[in-house]
Amino acid sequence: MRFVDLIEKKKNGYSLTPEEIHFFIEGYVAGKIPDYQVSAFLMAVCFQSMEEEETACLCKEMLASGEQVDLSSCGGVLCDKHSTGGVGDKTSLALIPMVAACGLKVAKMSGRGLGHTGGTLDKLESIPGFQTSLSMHAFLQQIKEIGLAIISQSASLVPADKMLYALRDVTATVDSIPLIAASIMSKKLACGSDCILLDVKYGEGAFMKDVQSAKKLAEEMIAIGTYFHKDTKAMISSMEEPLGNAIGNALEVKEAILSLQGKGSADFMELCLEAGSIMLLQGKIAKDKEEAYRKLKAAVSSGAALEKLREMIAAQHGDVSVIDHTDRLPQAKHILPIYASQKGYIHRIHAMRIGTLAMRLGAGRLTKDDIIDPAAGIVLQKKSSDIIEKGAVLAYVHTNRELEEGWLQEFYECYEIHSFAKEKEVLIQGIIG
């Protein structure tokens, strides 16, 4: 077999056979197929796409390129959750303790933030002492003992994805639905859970810019999950504006803690309850949605979910006192109010632009090697459809740096404010699977 023939085949819109996909991934990981040929192939996929079976087969070969986690010693049904990412998305920090408090075991491996989007690991690491890099033995032991753990992905899982993603990143071939689906699902499957809930975001701050593409990505990922006999479901949710109020690592940990104390923002809690209810159904912890909601709400109001977060922080060597004293999380030197320059109804808060502005304060990374400032970020005081008076506080900026020239003007440009009211946009567009 020659790889050039496979490039030609894909260029002309044909599907690759399982043997050809095996030849591709095995040859690439072994260094037998050069980057320039794989780049051409990836670009052909961007234009010609892949059939569902081809994508599942690609995922299977990527999965086979590395190790896989065996969670069988943890006992019971294990559930994983993945978000395609966005601005202010601290869902895992509150949701995982909530479902774990209801008796569902969660073994989660997470990633870091890049660009305008945040990453769960960076958020957790803003808790003084918190360790995200655990041995496999410690990871499994923690799940057995307290039912939840969130750690960084082991380097030995899915090496093919690391190589392919790095190449896609520099060849403008990231935004292909089959490539994204195979990439995400290979990593989720390698983590070994029985059930997977995918939070597929759409909108300005997300990979998928509209609901249709988000649904298409969700369907492809569910098809892969089904091929591997995993109970896979997807929630399609909006990332047109930041989720909740806080954007920035320690600020988002604080918001998650407040949410587990019953003081969370409405949109964030809505997302956690909906995601949690699907997970409890997948894990057979609840027999219907109503019971699932009841259990999750009780886990919050009784303090059991907050207790689970405390247990996870303690098990991963973090300072648990941050739960009762959130001022022990990293604090910025300056907390600057930003006042509304006009009265009106907020119609939009542009997620991507706000996320980029938070990144420029140090809350995120422009390149993979940038060092983030855990204290930096923005806390919104109003969300879209809210009314704001001229001179009222729109947001607080938490920063250790002087604001760059033009930053404030750009911040105002993130808002669309009009004199007429606007209905709140739907946050969750549907559940698939």
Q: By C-beta, is 165 or 293 nearer to ligand URA?
A: 165
- Say if CB 338 and CB 397 are below 8 A apart: yes
Q: How far is the CB of 180 from ligand URA (least distance, A)?
A: 4
Alpha carbon distance 243, 268 (integer Å) = 6
Q: How far is the CB of 84 from ligand URA (least distance, A)?
A: 6
CB of 181 to ligand URA, least distance (A): 8
CB of 313 to ligand URA, least distance (A): 26
Which residue has the closest beta carbon to ligand URA? 183
Catalytic residue among 176, 183, 277, 384: 183
Known active-site residue 161? yes
Helix (H) or strand (E) holding 280: helix 266-282
Measured from the CB atom, the residue of 151 and 179 that comes closer to ligand URA is 179
| Shortest spacing between CB 179 and ligand URA, in angstroms | 6
Q: Which is nearer to ligand URA, 85 or 264 (CB)?
A: 85
Say whether 122 is catalytic. no
**Which residue in the list 116, 187, 230, 310 is annotated as catalytic?**
187
Shorter beta-carbon distance to ligand URA: residue 165 or 228: 165
Which helix (H) or strand (E) segment holds residue 371: the answer is none
Annotation says 183 is catalytic: yes
| Catalytic status, residue 82 | yes
DSSP labels for 11-60?
HTTPPPPHHHHHHHHHHHHTT-S-HHHHHHHHHHHHHH---HHHHHHHHH
CB half-sphere exposure, 425, CA atoms < 13 A = 19
**Which amino acid appears at position 298 of this protein?**
A
Residue 185 token pair? 């699902």
Q: In the annotation, is 35 catalytic?
A: no
Of all helices (H) and strands (E), which one includes residue 54? helix 52-64
- Which residue lies nearer to ligand URA by CB, 124 or 179? 179
Among candidate residues 60, 81, 82, 123, the one labeled active-site is: 82
CB of 92 to ligand URA, least distance (A): 15
Please give the torsion angle defined by the CA atoms of residues 85, 86, 89 and 95, in that order, rounded to the nearest 10 degrees: -30
Candidates 60, 105, 123, 168; catalytic one? 168
Structure tokens at 117: 């989007």
In our burial notation (b when 16+ CB lie closer than 10 A, e otherwise), range 167-200 reads: bbeebebbebbbbbbbbbbbbbbbbbbbbbbbbb
Residues of this chain that interact with ligand URA (CB under 6 A) are 165, 174, 179-180, 183-184
Out of 80, 161, 231, 267, pick the active-site residue. Answer: 161
Number of H helices, E strands in the chain: 16, 13
Closer residue to ligand URA, CB minimum distance, 46 or 174: 174
Tokens of 188: 């989720």
**Could you give the residue numbers annotated as active site?**
82, 161, 168, 183, 187
